[in-house]
Chain A
Amino acid sequence: MSASVILIKNVHLIDPSQSFSKAIDVLISGGIIKKIGKDLSDASARIIDADGLIGCPGFIDLHCHLRQPGFEHKETIASGSAAACRGGFTTICCMPNTNPALDNAGAIDYVMKTAASEAPQVNVLPVGCITKARAGKEIVEMSELAGAGCVAFSDDGSPVSSSRLMSLAMENAAGLGLPIIDHCEDLDLSEGGQLHDGWVAARLGMKGIPSAAEESAVARDIALAELTGARLHITHVSTRGAVELIRNARLKGLPLTADVTPHHLTLTEERVISRPDHAGAPLAYDTNAKVNPPLRTASDIEALILGLNDGTIDAIATDHAPHADEDKLCEFEIAASGISGFDTALGVLLTFLDGKIALDTLVACLTSGPARVLGIGASGAGTLKTSSPADMVLIDTKKVWMVEADAMLSKGKNTPYLGQQLKGMVAATLHRGELVYAGVPERISR
């Protein structure tokens, strides 16, 4: 085990798993949280002066794309993990839309082994495919994938259209005790769509993706979850109607969970047409704002925020989707969908949701919430209870910084927040008791 002994002094600790929010000291030793209390001391410890900083469990991301194997020019397990680590994430779930897809135990094993050797600063938890090659035709050998270490099943951007196949997959997943993570989209209805089916689509002359494409898929999934008893997790919820469907299903007691991304919480369809850093320029057609599901409307954002505040939505997930420059420097209609999210997630949330969502709620949605979705809370993820693995993040909520492509650790510079000033940044990340990112060296002894 780790030899590091670290004493974090005077940190404002927020740990939603134990409803904890106060200024205190945290002693870390042997890779675990040793002790939390007032005026702790340890002569052998490195001291982190955390006065004025927020401390909380390391963030857990339910949805990211690490692109390896197959698309290493967009991201690698190493580069994505480095960006995640600096973004405050200590556990990340990577989606299986790699090439080859993560549809067999060997592929899961490859990701786990590569992560263990090249990404020691985070836990990488692979999500396995629901169907072979994500083709929606044949279910994968789910128990073998589970045995190899996958934590959930998803065909992500190519959701299973067949309700029969999806119900069978849910039954299998329920038997294994693992969740199905679904990207809810009626592909027939959304075909050819480029952005939200609203005024901007009409203005730009592009086919829209109606909210109904997401909502009809959510409604189907809820019915299938009720049929099969599966744990269903709806990822990147983007519409008001979807939030309402999920809320109603939860009121009925279904084991349903959901997440939302920072970009869907903070940007609308109008971001495609107007870029904050190019005021007065002609229409932007900004491919960095092309994402699936698309950025929606102010009304949807209002519903998503309400959903987070009333507990309908459990987690905030990045849907970190890095792309190479050439995937975005092209016509909007052929540009890849996706936003690179690790580098900006925390800053975006703290900057744009200030006053709309309490800090404790935001932290819960990044820690205890996703841990509950995955059912890994008991193993000490998403909590700082004594003896838990010391996965922890320190946050400077006052730090003002500018999003710049060159400063991002992800290979994917595709973010609509480029040139945006944000307030709030990770000051340090600890993983298994080791200081894996230190943005404030002046606060750390030795």
Chain B
Amino acid sequence: MSLSEVKQGTAGQETLPSLSIDLWHHRHVLDLDDFTREEIDLVFEIADGMVEVLSRDVKKLPTLRGKTIATMFFEPSTRTRASFELAAKYLGADTVGLDAVRSSVAKGESLIDSLRTLQALEVDAIIIRHPCSGAPYIAAEHLETSIINAGDGCHAHPSQGLLDMYTLRRKLGDLKGCRIVIVGDIMHSRVARSNIWGTRGLGIKLVLCAPPALMPHGMAAMLEKCGLQHVSIEPDINNALQDADVVMPLRLQKERQQSGLIASIREYIRLYQVNNERLKRAQPGVIVMHPGPINEGIEVSRDVAYSSYSVIEQQVTNGVAVRMALLYLIAGGKSR
């Protein structure tokens, strides 16, 4: 199946891709820091076709027929895993899931050995989720098989970063001048880190807002070192939300209180919850996003999470489309 077939519109006329697949240079998808603007546009363009496919009654494409995609999840996940597995299945690939939380690790097998076994099983790509930052990088260094990072520790979640920007692109069109505010546990958020890279070069202003203990000490220095001038740090949520076009509250893990990083859930809600009262400062029609799963009534009030501003459910649908695009590019787009 060709790219143009994927992009065939509902009316039946073919919309030829405006971007060449030759723009794609990735064997692995580890993070968005090494994505070019053109590569991101290419992913989005292919995702447009996939969104159309997802709206059909029969969603299955033959694009990756005969290919096998493995998921290897070293930490519990239902949403991201289901999203990737469905993406692979809609493209016609076979999937094999290894619940690494329980299997190999319990037997003392090393990460590299576990992955080498999968490689020897001749899978075409390995989607890996791991509680340790950098684990997919070790995999990419030691394996020939393509690696897709489905979340590593507190480091990166590139498909989430892509689906966030894709959702906004579909909603708002051009993102130039857009003020996006991420609120919450930046310290432990791989979503925030991937969005820092994913928003680069789009004319977006990204604001990071976190309680003092949940912002890494080195964040300002990192932004400077890495030339990420479009990102700023604003500890005061009211200042952060001023004129915001988009707000993304992050999930607050309950154990942050046990480790003393926040005084109490109650205080967190009082100081950092995204709710209607606070959103009055934002632009009218402010868009609310969330990487999920939501702690309703903690980082975001229920009425905001399910308001007309919320694109949280579109994020989930678009997530499948973006992951289909990534799998298409990694496992099917070019012969390697």
Taking Cβ atoms with an 8 Å cutoff, the residues of A that contact B are 197-206, 208, 210, 282-285, 326, 329-334
Given A199-B222, A205-B193, A283-B30, 7 additional A-B pairs, CB 8 A: A201-B217, A202-B222, A204-B134, A205-B154, A206-B133, A282-B30, A329-B138
Is there contact, CB below 8 Å, between B218 and A198? yes
B112 beta carbon closer than 8 Å to chain A = yes
Contact of B200 with A by CB under 8 A: no
What are 18 A-B contacts defined by CB distance under 8 Å? Answer: A199-B225, A201-B216, A201-B217, A202-B221, A203-B222, A203-B225, A204-B133, A205-B152, A205-B155, A205-B193, A282-B34, A282-B140, A283-B31, A283-B134, A326-B110, A329-B110, A330-B138, A333-B132
List the A side residues contacting B133 at CB < 8 Å. Answer: 204-206, 285, 332-333
Could you tell me the distance in whole angstroms from the C-beta of B189 to the nearest C-beta in chain A?
8
CA distance A206 to B133 in the complex (A): 7
A196 to B: closest C-beta gap in Å? 8
Give 3 nearest A-B pairs by CB, closest first. A205-B155, A285-B134, A205-B154
Which of B110, B190, B218, B222 has the most C-beta atoms of chain A within 10 angstroms of its own C-beta?
B218
Chain B residues contacting A210 (CB-CB under 8 Å) are 217
Instruction: Write the nearest CB–CB distance from B110 to chain A, whole angstroms.
Output: 6
Q: Determine how close the nearest CB of chain B comes to the CB of A9; give it in whole angstroms.
A: 50
Name the CB-closest residue of A to B30: A282
Query: Using Cβ atoms and an 8 Å threshold, which residues of chain B touch A199?
Result: 218-219, 221-222, 224-225
B152 to chain A: which residues have CB within 8 Å?
205
Q: Which residue of B lies closest to A272 (CB)?
A: B134
Interface flags for B183-221 (1: CB within 8 Å of A; 0: not) read 000000010010000000000000000000000111101
When chains A and B are docked, how far (Å) is the Cα of A200 from the Cα of B225?
Answer: 9
**CB closest residue in chain B, given A333:** B132
Shortest C-beta distance, A276 to chain B (Å), equals 16
Number of interface residues of B (CB under 8 A): 32
Closest to A280 in B: B34
Least CB separation from B133: chain A residue = A205
Task: Tell whether, in the assembled complex, residue B137 and residue A285 are in contact, meaning their CB atoms are under 8 Å apart.
Answer: yes
Q: Which residue of B lies closest to A278 (CB)?
A: B141
User: With an 8 A cutoff between CB atoms, is B148 at the interface?
Assistant: no
Q: With both chains docked as a complex, state the minimum distance between the C-beta of B321 and any C-beta of chain A, in angstroms.
A: 26
Question: Which single member of A198, A202, A283, A329 contacts B137 (CB below 8 Å)?
Answer: A283
Cβ-defined contact, A330 with B110, below 8 A: yes
**Is B226 located at the chain interface by the 8 A CB criterion?**
yes
B130: interface (CB < 8 Å): yes
Instruction: Report B-chain residues with C-beta under 8 Å of the C-beta of A331.
Output: 111, 130, 132, 134-135, 138
A204 touches B110 (CB 8 A): no
A202 touches B156 (CB 8 A): no
- Report the bound CA distance from A199 to B30 in whole Å: 20
